[in-house]
Amino acid sequence: MIKSFATALLVCLLASAVVLAKDPSKINDDTITDQIKINLANDKVIGAYPFEVNVKDGVVTLSGTADTQHQAARAVSVARKVKGVKSVVNKITLKNEGPKK
């Protein structure tokens, strides 16, 4: 009797663990924003640049200033790779240029 109870309990615990593991967290604008900021900060090319990240309905707007076009393009590329991103609007300016239109 104790053995069958223990087995049933173990099966319930394993089943609940599987259900919890398969329940993905919901992706919303805040989680997208956080993940992009983390990825930008960890990127070796652009980690030192404090780009502003705004997300509305999965559409990301990046703004701020970069030294080179490569850094700006890299920031856009990093943002596009985040799950839940629908598109990226690049408003990053270069130090020697005015704002993008």
Task: Break the chain into its structural domains and give their ranges.
Answer: 25-94
The C-alpha atoms of residue 81 and residue 36 are separated, in whole angstroms, by 9
CA distances from 99 to 3, 13, 89 (A): 71, 56, 13
CA distances from 46 to 6, 16, 53, 80, 100 (A): 54, 41, 14, 15, 19
* Token pair recorded at residue 33: 């924003």
Question: What is the rounded average pLDDT of the residues 79-94?
Answer: 97
The C-alpha atoms of residue 28 and residue 55 are separated, in whole angstroms, by 9
CATH code for residues 25-94: 3.30.1340
Segment 8-60, tens digit of pLDDT: 544 555 566 655 555 566 889 999 999 999 999 999 988 777 899 999 999 99
Name the residue among 98, 61, 67, 92 with its Cα closest to residue 79.
61
pTM (whole model) above 0.85: no
The C-alpha atoms of residue 54 and residue 56 are separated, in whole angstroms, by 7
